[in-house]
Amino acid sequence: MSKIPENLEAVTDAWLLTLVRHDAALQGEDITHIARTQVGDGIGQSGEFSRVIATTASGLTKNYFLKLRAPLDGMHQVALHYRMYEKEFKFYTELAGQMPARTPQVFYSEYDKENEKIVLLMEFMDGWHSPDQIVGASDKQIRSAIRALAKISAPLWGKTSTLEWLPTYADGYLHETHGDMQACAPIFAERFMDALPIARQDLDRMVAAWPAIMNKLCEGPLTFTHNDFRSENLFFSADDSEVAVIDWQLISAIRPSWDFAYLIGTNIQTDMRRANQQQYIDLYLAELAEHGINYAEADLREDMKWTLLGNATIPVIGGSNFVISNARSFELFKQISARLFDTILDFDAFSVLP
């Protein structure tokens, strides 16, 4: 393969042609035109994205999703530090085909570790839609997402050690989140404390207990975890009955319930979560049972105390590092933060802190 471009600006039509020809549906077709438009804005991009449109002499038009490394050096360094490129590449090349959950088809993937570059050419989810997390997903969407989540959680339940490259919170670079939380907490508090249902001393107490939280996240049968299972990483079919999951950069092996806790704790309005919470719990446990996992509700609720606290890395670290002038990112992190800490209080998660 030719050299991976540094950014979208450096992408050429000739290079794109070499990529789209990996799509078996285009074999024998004469590609007469390639076009592209940049897509994506908001939460602190961990990649640079473009829609690629290929047109053939026979009149066939196909859309693709092109993903390159993060465009801003700061986010690029974060992606390298947390092995985001490497993990997503390994997910699509080693795991996606074995997992019953729906993911975008990948036509070409390459990770150049030495030069810190990645390229993924994937299916563009034509006809599918993704909810705005600020507004919140619908009840039907959450239920469909829970069914999809069971297909992610179950296959490697208690078997994640078979993937030597999949990190846990015992790994060095994830264990460093304690320092990240300490450094980011004051910035996070300055930006969002007024919107939270907790006091500053609660936040400080949680951050001080972070080593204990990380240890607890490594206990029990670990599960394969998407780690950012939020509505904007989910594409729904037209009737919201089917789900395709994207953005596998943060995958880890974590104590059970992380993805479920984050889904119901940050992706819907708090009133709706409270009204339907028991049904969501019942549905997740039933779906896991369908896949051969017997998980008691008492264990789920105990695990969620720790995983909800662990989920705080996303608003605290992420909410302290985006460009403050980005109005959408500010509102998104505000909503995530307020909903998550409401859920933490509802599950009495602070009670487990030393």
What are the domain boundaries of the chain? 8-123, 139-352
pLDDT number for residue 27:
86
* pLDDT tens for each residue of 115-133: 999 999 999 999 999 999 9
Cα–Cα distance list, 257 to 81, 228, 309 (Å)? 25, 12, 12
Q: The domain at 139-352 falls in which architecture?
A: Alpha-Beta Complex (3.90)
223/157 Cα distance (integer angstroms): 5
Whether the per-residue pLDDT at 318 is higher than 80: the answer is: yes
- How far CA 248 is from CA of 3, 83, 123, 337, in Å, comes to 24, 11, 15, 22
8-123 and 139-352 in the same fold: no
Give the pTM.
Answer: 0.93
- The CATH architecture that domain 8-123 belongs to is 2-Layer Sandwich (3.30)
Is residue 124 within 8 Å of 228, Cβ to Cβ? Answer: no
Residue 10 has pLDDT above 50, yes or no: yes
User: What is the mean predicted confidence (pLDDT) over 151-165?
Assistant: 96
Q: Is the pLDDT of residue 211 over 50?
A: yes
Beta strands in the chain (DSSP E): 31-39, 48-56, 61-68, 106-112, 117-123, 223-225, 234-236, 243-245, 252-254
- Report the range of poorest mean pLDDT among 72-76, 100-104, 157-161, 298-302: 72-76
Q: What does the pLDDT look like over 77-120, one tens digit per residue?
A: 888 988 999 999 999 999 999 899 999 999 999 999 999 999 99
